[in-house]
Structure 1
Amino acid sequence: MRVFADYCQDLVAQAREQLRSDSDAVPAAPLARLERYLLSIAAAFAAESPHRGCFLTRGTADLAGQDEEVARTARRAFDDLASAFAAVIREAQDAGEVADHSGYGHTAVLAEAVGRGAGKAAAQVDLVAVDTITDEQWSLLDTADAVIFGTPTYMGGASAGFHAFAEASSGRYLRGTWADKIAAGFTNSASKSGDKLNTLNFLAAFAAQHHMIWVGLGLAPGWNALQASESDLNRLGFWVGAGAQTPQDGGVETVHEADIATAEHLGARVAAQAAALAAGRAALATA
């Protein structure tokens, strides 16, 4: 057992060393560091004679079901490796090397705008990328007063990454963890319509299954009269949530200013509703 634990510690330490950004021995770019590490692992296993493979993987497969200590050690090692990978992937996302859950980065721009709006309304804001969500971030959602869901619209619906997150939340549905929290949603597509309403309706239904309280956009439609402007808030005319349109071949700088402002409005509106609900519950508790 000691040999297995030492192997796991060394494996994680080597991964962290090769992936960390302040090491002079590795390329500075996050994606280059990740690529180099993965290629080094593949080369090391390929050079073995005879081929033994990864001790962590073999130990988990052979012994984890029989020895709880092996299972805990393996689980900790896998979690530590996942955290190291997630950290360097997030670096790559921040550096613009890898798009986050939003696919092209457009929905991420809207998420940041939602966060700014909520922050201006004095809310504490945490942005969570659902396709790389950690246990700590699940806990943030569990304790939040409100959750604003966001996803790009692909092929007339929410992205595969968001669907995976939704399905992973089923245990919380069964336990009622998110019941009576405020919820809202936003989405982006390349076309003016792009069937975004399907995505927003899915987000609302998802929230309803969790027994959450849905908050709509709360804006009249813009850009629907001769004197109206494409710079109007809610220029695409959605009520269920915030809908945005960004050219599919455009960078993050092409996200429309009116859509960004609409997303900020949604964040501020949800923060205000969550604060009012919390204040009301506190007043009832002391009545």
Structure 2
Amino acid sequence: MARPRSFDEPHVIRQAREAFHDHGYAATSVEHLTAATGLSRSSLYGAFGDKHGVFLRSFTQYCEDNAEAVEGALAGDERGARGRLERHLRSTIPVPGAPQRGCLLAKATAELAGEDADVVRTATDFYERYERALSACVRSAQTAGDVRADLDPAGAGALLLSVLRGIEALGRAGHPPATLQSLVDTAMAVLATPGH
């Protein structure tokens, strides 16, 4: 009979994901993971199998947390839907002078997508949820009359997701916040009904 685990598994996974976020997958050593989690190698691998197993649990948790946050930020009444879309887009623009850690999702897919089907599947699931949340918010804004009725909500959601990922990449590359704000202005202008 297996002994019950004597640690808080979600907390340990969250601590492990911080190590992966800081160092990337390949450069994260067992020593990084044991230091971050407070577990021995045998406890860590006994619970999760190996480094890859620890990473997949961490990456899945990261994507789940972020998907829930996006869905929460975009959900709500129809009259406020357009404002929620704009606030969400603007919230991704980096604050000048703030440390730029980058997104674990972007880092992991850049490093592993060509060789790790589990990472690809988890990332794809996340992006599909993100796109659905954006599309649903567009649809709500259309119902309220605040977004053009002739737009396909699914296509608009895909466009907004592309804008969001572009803002992230350009922000990491050091583009000025004013340039990124103008991207949001342009995206919102594409959605706008006449007179908005």
Structure-1-length-normalised TM-score: 0.32
**Structure (1 or 2) with the greater helix fraction:** 2
**Structure (1 or 2) with the greater strand fraction:** 1
Q: Which has the larger radius of gyration?
A: 1
Structure-2-length-normalised TM-score: 0.46
